[in-house]
């Protein structure tokens, strides 16, 4: 039995882990190199080109998006500038229209005032003419009444007055 245990111990100590067995190192190195070469070729021929293509596509998309954003930003700035210019032009045009309208209204108002002044002056002249006619008529009427009254008073006092002397006396008194 003792021999069985020593044989088992020798077998257990000799067998150990196959990776650490020195006799299989050359075989392990060969397969390690083969595996690394296969992995290298698979990565360099298949996986890395695909990854590079995806990265290049992403970079291209990002570059295109940035360029498009810059173009849109420039267009937006141009549109804003055009809007501000159009707004300024519209304000200037509105001010011009307001000024023209004010000038037209002022001209119409001045014309209406001049027309009204002319009508007022004509009516005033016509009124003055009528007043002068009425005054003239009133003076004539007063002269007639004064002549008649003077003749009646002279006659009532017992005197005799001829029409010529009464008219001369009334005219002399009216001039004073």
> Per residue in 42-67, pLDDT tens?
999 999 999 999 999 999 999 999 99
Q: Is the pLDDT of residue 176 over 70?
A: no
Q: How far is 79 from 125, CA to CA, in rounded Å?
A: 67
| Domain range annotation of the chain | 19-175
Give me the pLDDT at residue 14, please: 56
**Secondary structure tally for the chain: helices H, strands E:** 4, 0
Give me the pLDDT at residue 105, please: 95
User: Do the Cβ atoms of 167 and 149 come closer than 8 Å?
Assistant: no
pLDDT tens string 125-172: 999 988 988 888 887 888 788 878 887 887 777 777 777 877 887 788
Give me the pLDDT at residue 6, please: 60
Give me the pLDDT at residue 139, please: 78
User: Do the Cβ atoms of 147 and 166 come closer than 8 Å?
Assistant: yes
SS3 category, 148: helix
Q: Is the pLDDT of residue 11 over 80?
A: no
Neighbours of 121 (CB within 10 A): 10
DSSP 16: S
Give me the pLDDT at residue 169, please: 79
Give me the pLDDT at residue 168, please: 81
pLDDT tens string 103-115: 999 999 999 999 9
pLDDT tens string 71-115: 999 999 999 999 999 999 999 999 999 999 999 999 999 999 999
pLDDT band at residue 32 under the 50/70/90 scheme: very high
Give me the pLDDT at residue 8, please: 52
Angle, alpha carbons 96-98-99 (nearest 5°): 65
User: Do the Cβ atoms of 151 and 161 come closer than 8 Å?
Assistant: yes
Which position has the higher pLDDT, 15 or 31?
31
Give me the pLDDT at residue 12, please: 52
pLDDT band at residue 17 under the 50/70/90 scheme: confident
Full 3-state SS string of 72-140: HHHHHHHHHHHHHHHHHHHHHHHHHHHHHHHHHHHHHHHHHHHHHHHHHHHHHHHHHHHHHHHHHHHHH
DSSP 45: I
């Amino acid at each position: 039995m003792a021999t069985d245990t020593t044989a088992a111990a020798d077998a257990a100590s000799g067998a150990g882990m196959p990776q650490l067995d020195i006799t299989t190192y050359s075989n392990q190195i060969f397969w390690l190199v083969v595996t690394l070469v296969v992995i290298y070729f698979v990565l360099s021929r298949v996986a890395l080109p695909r990854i590079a293509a995806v990265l290049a596509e992403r970079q291209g998309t990002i570059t295109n998006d940035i360029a498009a954003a810059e173009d849109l930003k420039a267009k937006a700035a141009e549109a804003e500038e055009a809007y501000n210019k159009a707004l300024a032009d519209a304000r200037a045009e509105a001010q011009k229209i307001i000024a023209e309208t004010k000038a037209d209204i002022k001209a119409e108002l001045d014309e209406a005032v001049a027309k009204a002044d002319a009508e007022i002056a004509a009516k005033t002249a016509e009124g003055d003419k009528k007043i002068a006619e009425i005054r003239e008529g009133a003076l004539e009427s007063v002269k007639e009444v004064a002549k008649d009254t003077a003749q009646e008073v002279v006659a009532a006092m017992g005197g005799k007055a001829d029409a010529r002397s009464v008219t001369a006396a009334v005219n002399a008194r009216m001039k004073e």
